[in-house]
Amino acid sequence: MIQSCSFTDTEQEALLRIAYDAIAHGVRNGIPGVIESANYTDRLRTISATFITLKIADALRGCIGTLEAVRPLIRDVHENAFAAAFRDPRFPPVAERELTGLQIGISVLSCPEPMAFGSEQDLLDQLRSGIDGLILEEGYHRSTFLPAVWESLPQPQAFFRQLKLKAGLSPDHWSDTLRVYRYHTEVIGGA
């Protein structure tokens, strides 16, 4: 489920243009280029965390982002768009011929909130399908699923089991040191 977006149409267009330009510049020059923050509103310069999802013909083509808000939104979009196109280890770099069919989705993350639970079932009962993004941490293991992943894993148990696998844990793993954080996203674009 896609959350409604509080960004104006102009702001959404600006963020999508930033992402596209970083990728196009990267295709032609091998680097994302430079972004001038003075050209954007204060809202687009707020410190934010984002994920950029790239698709071609509705098939995943790259997805990279940040979980902690450490740089301005426009800069985070710029850097993550370039990284999704050229540094996602699952895919070869985006080629120039792919630019016209590239679908770009920007997920702007809320601040992650720690969840309190006494058991795995207690955690599963608190999950909101289509709404919650999750971060799982266990020792040096860490993974996240954006809320959009609920579209392919709509059942909380399957969602959480796959999140554990993504972190390098067994799907049945459970311990008292497991930490889970919930976040929401505002989605811009069509990936």
Amino acid at 1: M
Q: What are the mean pLDDT values of the chain's consecutive 10-residue runs (191 residues total)?
A: 69 96 95 87 94 95 95 97 97 96 96 96 96 96 95 95 97 95 93 59
Amino acid at 104: I
Of the chain, the end-to-end C-alpha distance in Å amounts to 13
| Torsional sign, CA 4, 70, 53, 35 | positive
Task: Please identify, among 110, 144, 175, the residue that sits at the C-terminal boundary of a domain.
Answer: 110
Amino acid at 98: E
Residue 190 included in any domain: no
Answering whether pTM is above 0.85, one says yes
* CATH number of the domain residue 180 falls in: 3.30.1490.150
For residue 143, give the DSSP letter.
E
Domain hosting 41: range is 9-110
How many folded domains does the chain comprise?
A: 2
pLDDT of residue 129: 93
